[in-house]
Structure 1
Amino acid sequence: MFETKYGYFSEDQNEYIIKTPKTPRPWVNIISNGDYGVAVSQNGSGYSWKTHASLNRINRWEQDIIKDEWGKYFYIKNNENDELFTPTFKPMCKKNIDYKIIHGFGYSKFLAENKDLKTELTLTVPKDSSLEIWMLKIKNKTKNKLNLSVFSYLEWNLGTAPDWHREFHKTFIDTYFMNDVIKAEKRMWDIPNENGEHWNRNWEYTAFNSVNEKTSSATSCKEDFLGNFGSVSNPEGLKNKKLNNIFGKYQDSIASLHNEVIIDSDEEKILIYTIGLVEKNDTKEIDNIKKIYSTEKSVLNEIEKNKKMWKDIFEKNMVETPDIGFNLMNNKWLKYQAISGRLWGRTGYYQTGGAFGFRDQLQDSQIFLYVDPNKTAEQIKLHAKHQFIDGSVYHWWHPISEIGLKNNISDNRLWLAFITLRYLKETNNFNFLNEMVPYIDYEDESIYDHCIKAIKYNLSKLSSRGLPLIGSGDWNDGMSAVGTDGKGESIWLGHFLYGILNDFSYICNKQKDYENEDLFKKEALKLKNSINKYAWDGEWFIRAFKDDGKSIGSSKCSEGKIFLNAQTWAILNNSTTEERKEKAYESLKKYLFKEFGPLLFQPAYSKPDKEIGYLSRYAPGVRENGGLYTHAGTWGVLAACKMNDENSYKIYKSFMPVYRGMNPDKYFTEPYVTPGNVDGPDSPNFGRGGWSWYTGSASWYFITGMEGILGITPEWNGLKISPVMPKEWDKVFVKRYFRNCLYNINFIRSKNKKIIVNENEIDGNIINNENNEKTLNIFVYF
């Protein structure tokens, strides 16, 4: 399915098969069980972590997407002629080997074959353990018995990454070897201790690397393995019969296990490696892990557990449309990216992370509304715990250390209220508002109070004209200098806040908080008036005003004339007149909707503007400087659907990864996940993707498909059905759980438009399960 010269999807859509490791950029899998995770490329390179991908990194890894040569590797040596073979393309990059790579949900496989050997290297992360398993199968293709040596290799990091001063960090690592297991500890963790002291805290784990067969030798000395001035592509140590069994405190620490393997003709041997960590000195647990994962059956069992877990997640919401690309992205791959990559791993190849972004993971958690709303509720509560009593919040914070950054970016706190509104519309569980959560600097208060404080904090940050102050940026962090003097104004934030004020006034009424209901309604009206008085530019809305009052995103600007977000959210939140929405949307179509998706703005900035910030310092057309920023592009499609544009699906499809990936040498990034950005027309690489996996666009792109194109939208009084499907779609089926009821929704194109629910025609287009049925069979004639 969707085959190119680099790869294709399996027929069941559960795997992406890469035919050659020489893809335009690393094509990656992010495998995580919610705490432990691995980022691995098609080359076999990558890194592992527990809880936090940057503060608790297990192996060393350097971010270089051109060379991509840092990771955990395996070498197979023919002891008769010293020929080396690697079951992954890196680090040796041999040309006489056929490689195939398979990325699946919770696992990856690396298949390799030359004239003598056929190997299959399988990687998975057990569902409930802090470790990864590498199972290596080696098959002898010759007619003779083969005498082989197999070596594993990784460099220990053990804590904060990158360890930029390696000569410092390596002096704290200690390694030892027993029972075919290399263990490693570190006497320093670059996280403050309980007294706030740096460099005075132990790393709190014991890392291990084991193999299920008796080893012939081993080492934790990098120089022993690579040789002085050696390299991973041709390790000097492998020219010897054995490694030198060097361990302790006085070397640059690695892990390498050496096994001698005799394989008869047409025979297959299996080696099973585990890499992971346990609580410090829990050697019994390491021994137990080694015993558990000592057979092929035990490894395959973990892969099956992962497959079942993901199948259960996926099947809570499924679609069948005439467009296979739409189906495979929305049924499986977008969910997998949003959950495994963004919520559990919070890291990628283009940006290694591990922290929680206050706005980021709240938005990502919308994916759980469709599969397990309780997890969205848990995410809301987690973020509420990282709010201050005055309503302000951390921009991001680190699990493990709980160190956070508090800044003056103006939209962060509002996402708490926004996602709470989304959760309430989905579940109708208003009791959730009464759940008690502490602040960073104060005792428990209800989720409702947390949201009220967030909204009021923003209401206290309005300019003399009644417009929101942008502070150090709004949704676009790159507008980092627009309001540093405390006077710059954000029009996008005005549209966004207006919608929250309106929706939350409904919540206030439900809570019998009539004082805040009245306040929010009045503030919403004043805000709408201010936006329309000061920010309308004639054909579209201005994006922002600098501290000195000059506009950004105006027809008067030579660069950055029109911005996407100021138009899309005016439409989505109805913060202007119908006439202005029409004009703003026509401007979007004229200037920003391009062949590879909606641009963030046009034209790009050709030189830095110190009154705007680092947005203008990107190369023209790159990322936020006039490119498609996929996250915002999804809002462009939602606006198109709101305007009932018959071309909405064409816009949506224009930046769907599976279709963009059909021209991989132009697109570059993986065809199975959304990229963070695509170069705009001001770049010579117009259409090139970048920053894949670690982007908030996956959840939003999914929502855009479900609520925009299919038009199945949660409202206070039920599920609204208002599709904006392409004309060629005559029949569509959607399986959707909503408020503990299974909705089987059948769309059928017809001249006679009506909605039938359990054989009864309803008035209007909102389905309200008043009788609390467990299943509703719905036919939508549209």
Structure 2
Amino acid sequence: CIRDSYYAEWVMGVTRQLSAPYLVTDYDGDKDIFYVQNTLQEEFVGRIGFLTSFGAPVSSYTGDRSEFIGRNGTLGDPRGLKLDRFTETVGAGLDPCCALQLLVSLAPGESKTLTFLLGETENRAEVEKVVANYGQPEKTLKAFEEVNRYWDELLGNIQVDTPDSSMNLLLNRWLLYQTVVCRIWARSAFYQSGGAYGFRDQLQDVMALVYTTPEVTRKQLILHCGHQFVEGDVQHWWHAETGKGIRTKFSDDLLWLPFVTAYYIERTGDTGILEETNTFLEDELLKEDEDERYSIPKISQEQGTVYEHCIRAIERGLHFGEHGLPLIGSGDWNDGFSRIGIKGKGESVWLGWFLYLTLTRFSSLCEGRQDFERGTRYRSIAKELQQNMELHGWDGGWYRRAYFDDGTPLGSSQNRECQIDALAQSWSVLSGAAKPSRAKDAMLALEHYLWRKEDGVLLLLTPPFDKSLPDPGYIKGYVPGVRENGGQYTHGATWAILAYTSLGEGDKATELFQMLSPIHHARTEHEVNRYKVEPYVVAADVYASHPHVGRGGWTWYTGASGWMYQAGLEGILGFKRQGDTLVLTPCIPSSWPGYRMTYHYKTTKYEILVENPMSKMTGCAKITLDEDVLLEPAILLKDDGQVHTIRFTM
């Protein structure tokens, strides 16, 4: 006989350390199902976890982790694998786990399949239904095949073949997988396991899905509308079951709703989303000295269309300071800038670029709905904002980051700490608002001061905060050179890739993409020992301070995965859909001879071949569709079930 063991540690909450004392295990010997339940939790009350097996009889079990691992034991060499039988201990007051021991008899040349089913559902009755459904080997095999088919279809919708094999691996599988399973489904990882929705977070994540599963992007936009207060501001984050979340004075959260809505419509042509409706939230307004409140707001009787939700967000965001720049509130995209505008007067230069782009994009939607007065007003505000950005945002060699309540600039050569910030430079390009000469100078400054190529990091800002005043906020709580405080914050670094492609600098864009790639941090034993984290998912941050330069921070749960996908696909490879038209604007390294792509549009397959005989980074010399020469690199997509070939010569 062969003794086969299966071991699972349960969390059933945010962290195991907090939930373990309240996990109670039980075993149903008649049905051979192991149960576990968290008896003390506010969310998902009464739900139950389970473990069972098929293919061989269970000989013994234990719900005691200390029995399985053993005193001073490890999971690498657990005591449980040496035991003839487990003690069948279950109940409360244990260090909880679920461990099954099966005895498998095999004749010479015989093979058997063992299946373990681990899950969580509402109650025991539901568990029994699930177990009965998967109890037949053919159903288990079918389910496994369906899972594989799902991922092949999702991740195979767009496939790329470039001279950079690491880019192929990331764009073809890993970046979308990381975004979907961790950011959108789980909203949890080892370093951050709350499971909450972030208003700005998941909206940015679903931007990466507009080509593969646009219905997910659409659904997320409508969902987020329901977490907007009647006044126009939004929950910074919330938990799904109860809606309990935090109301803040963050200045950028609400603007991601119109920004992503405009992006979604531009890519899909689905203006119908603007007519979808959802409710608002109601709660007491934050007091003047109150930065945030954690509560369960009331669902309002008032409803609004997605368009109305977006308008209310924009109107709420149109608050400006003495320099004519948007007020930063208790923080913008960088949550750590929590005290720059604590008195209600601090301003954000980055937010100015972001608001400008949001206003210009959404004004077109206003005009498309015959809301001409509003569209004209938004363009007028954007124009005035653009002038103020150049007047008060430019520092002489790059753009500043913000202004404190007392008018002190941040991200300026005047500062001892945080003399330059990456976001203000990259978004000056992405917004299209900066003077072209200044935008190029800003990116040169970013490259000179923030891109440390010898260390393989692109800093968010430098020098890091440590001792100087005024106090920018909790960002100073991080060690200098770590996370937002002067380390590489990969989410922000990906925007520099898009900025470089906007400027037509394919060499720099691809060099930065490769540097940010986790694969390029683990090519040698030395790199592995320095990086120390997974080489197949993007890390949220990389340390930039001695002695940990180049060490990966937290992984999996980062918005960088979705933005890096966009940077590679739309920025470098130049793949953009505009409704039912495919526009190709590659910005690649001059050393690339070309690349290939396949795109499945409904029932049609497009094979795209890009050739670069003149070693260019941008430009189109000739483009053909099935041998027909086109006047411009814009292809009208057809759902005709055929295979079409696009040949693009740079």
TM class, shorter-length: 0.7 to 0.9
Query: Mean alpha-carbon deviation: is it higher for 711-720 or for 693-702?
Result: 711-720
- Structure 1 residue aligned with 2:287: none
Per the TM alignment, residue 572 of structure 1 is displaced from its structure 2 partner at its CA by: 0.9
Mapping of residues 578-727 of structure 1, within 5 Å: 578-595=436-453, 596-607=456-467, 611-645=471-505, 646-662=507-523, 663-680=527-544, 682-715=545-578, 718-727=581-590
Report if the CA contact (8 A) 2:157-2:600 is conserved: yes
Distance in 2 (CA, whole Å) between partners of 1:627 and 1:382 is: 33
Report if the CA contact (8 A) 2:255-2:355 is conserved: yes
Query: Mean alpha-carbon deviation: is it higher for 328-337 or for 599-608?
Result: 599-608
Pairing 1:476–2:334 present: yes
The counterpart of 1:255, out of the listed 98, 117, 120, is 98
Report if the CA contact (8 A) 1:186-1:203 is conserved: no
Query: Mean alpha-carbon deviation: is it higher for 285-294 or for 645-654?
Result: 285-294
- Structure 1 residue aligned with 2:624: 756
Q: Structure 2 unaligned segments of length 5 or more: list them.
A: 283-299, 615-619
- Structure 1 residue aligned with 2:321: 463
Mapping of residues 501-520 of structure 1, within 5 Å: 501-520=359-378
Distance in 1 (CA, whole Å) between partners of 2:134 and 2:74 is: 34
Report if the CA contact (8 A) 1:177-1:247 is conserved: no
- Structure 1 residue aligned with 2:400: 542
Q: Does the residue aligned with 1:333 lie in a helix, a strand or coil?
A: helix
The counterpart of 1:209, out of the listed 51, 56, 59, is 51
- Structure 1 residue aligned with 2:35: 184
Query: Mean alpha-carbon deviation: is it higher for 508-517 or for 462-471?
Result: 462-471
User: How many percent of aligned residue pairs carry the same amino acid?
Assistant: 33
* Paired residue total: 620
Distance in 2 (CA, whole Å) between partners of 1:180 and 1:331 is: 42
Q: Residue type matched to 1:678 in 2?
A: V
Mapping of residues 220-619 of structure 1, within 5 Å: 220-222=63-65, 241-249=84-92, 251-263=94-106, 270-282=113-125, 285-286=127-128, 289=131, 292-293=134-135, 295=137, 298-441=139-282, 442=300, 443-459=302-318, 461-595=319-453, 596-607=456-467, 611-619=471-479
Distance in 2 (CA, whole Å) between partners of 1:669 and 1:219 is: 33
Per the TM alignment, residue 156 of structure 1 is displaced from its structure 2 partner at its CA by: 4.5
Pairing 1:153–2:17 present: no
Residues 1:413 and 1:288: Cα distance change in structure 2 (over 3 Å): closer
Report if the CA contact (8 A) 1:435-1:447 is conserved: yes
| Cα offsets for 1:508-544 (capped at 9, x unmatched) | 0001011211210111011111111111100111001
Distance in 2 (CA, whole Å) between partners of 1:424 and 1:345 is: 26
Residues 1:412 and 1:741: Cα distance change in structure 2 (over 3 Å): farther
Distance in 1 (CA, whole Å) between partners of 2:640 and 2:390 is: 43
Q: Residue type matched to 2:257 in 1?
A: L
Distance in 1 (CA, whole Å) between partners of 2:25 and 2:170 is: 45
TM-score relative to the length of structure 1: 0.74
Q: Does the residue aligned with 2:481 lie in a helix, a strand or coil?
A: coil
Q: Does the residue aligned with 1:528 lie in a helix, a strand or coil?
A: helix
Per the TM alignment, residue 214 of structure 1 is displaced from its structure 2 partner at its CA by: 2.2
Distance in 1 (CA, whole Å) between partners of 2:387 and 2:490 is: 30
Residues 1:287 and 1:704: Cα distance change in structure 2 (over 3 Å): closer
Report if the CA contact (8 A) 2:197-2:237 is conserved: yes
Which structure has greater helix proportion?
A: 2
Per the TM alignment, residue 710 of structure 1 is displaced from its structure 2 partner at its CA by: 1.5
TM-score relative to the length of structure 2: 0.88
Distance in 2 (CA, whole Å) between partners of 1:632 and 1:166 is: 36
- Structure 2 residue aligned with 1:8: none
Q: Does the residue aligned with 2:340 lie in a helix, a strand or coil?
A: coil
Q: Does the residue aligned with 1:440 lie in a helix, a strand or coil?
A: strand
Q: Residue type matched to 1:449 in 2?
A: E
| Cα offsets for 1:306-363 (capped at 9, x unmatched) | 2211111122111122222221211111111111221112222232231111111111
Per the TM alignment, residue 616 of structure 1 is displaced from its structure 2 partner at its CA by: 2.5
- Structure 2 residue aligned with 1:126: none
Distance in 2 (CA, whole Å) between partners of 1:235 and 1:585 is: 54
Q: Does the residue aligned with 1:484 lie in a helix, a strand or coil?
A: coil
Report if the CA contact (8 A) 2:457-2:550 is conserved: no
Q: Residue type matched to 1:216 in 2?
A: S
Q: Residue type matched to 2:305 in 1?
A: S
Per the TM alignment, residue 406 of structure 1 is displaced from its structure 2 partner at its CA by: 1.2
Distance in 2 (CA, whole Å) between partners of 1:183 and 1:148 is: 21
Distance in 2 (CA, whole Å) between partners of 1:165 and 1:449 is: 42
Report if the CA contact (8 A) 2:268-2:580 is conserved: no
Report if the CA contact (8 A) 1:742-1:775 is conserved: yes
Report if the CA contact (8 A) 1:603-1:626 is conserved: yes
Distance in 2 (CA, whole Å) between partners of 1:523 and 1:738 is: 38
Distance in 1 (CA, whole Å) between partners of 2:422 and 2:499 is: 10
Distance in 1 (CA, whole Å) between partners of 2:12 and 2:532 is: 32
Report if the CA contact (8 A) 2:51-2:117 is conserved: yes
Per the TM alignment, residue 629 of structure 1 is displaced from its structure 2 partner at its CA by: 1.2
Residues 1:712 and 1:152: Cα distance change in structure 2 (over 3 Å): closer
Q: Structure 1 unaligned segments of length 5 or more: list them.
A: 1-146, 193-201
Residues 1:748 and 1:186: Cα distance change in structure 2 (over 3 Å): closer
Distance in 2 (CA, whole Å) between partners of 1:587 and 1:187 is: 53
Residues 1:724 and 1:151: Cα distance change in structure 2 (over 3 Å): closer
Report if the CA contact (8 A) 2:268-2:579 is conserved: no
Q: Residue type matched to 1:675 in 2?
A: A
Report if the CA contact (8 A) 2:609-2:648 is conserved: yes
Q: Does the residue aligned with 2:607 lie in a helix, a strand or coil?
A: strand
Residues 1:524 and 1:259: Cα distance change in structure 2 (over 3 Å): same
Distance in 2 (CA, whole Å) between partners of 1:602 and 1:558 is: 9
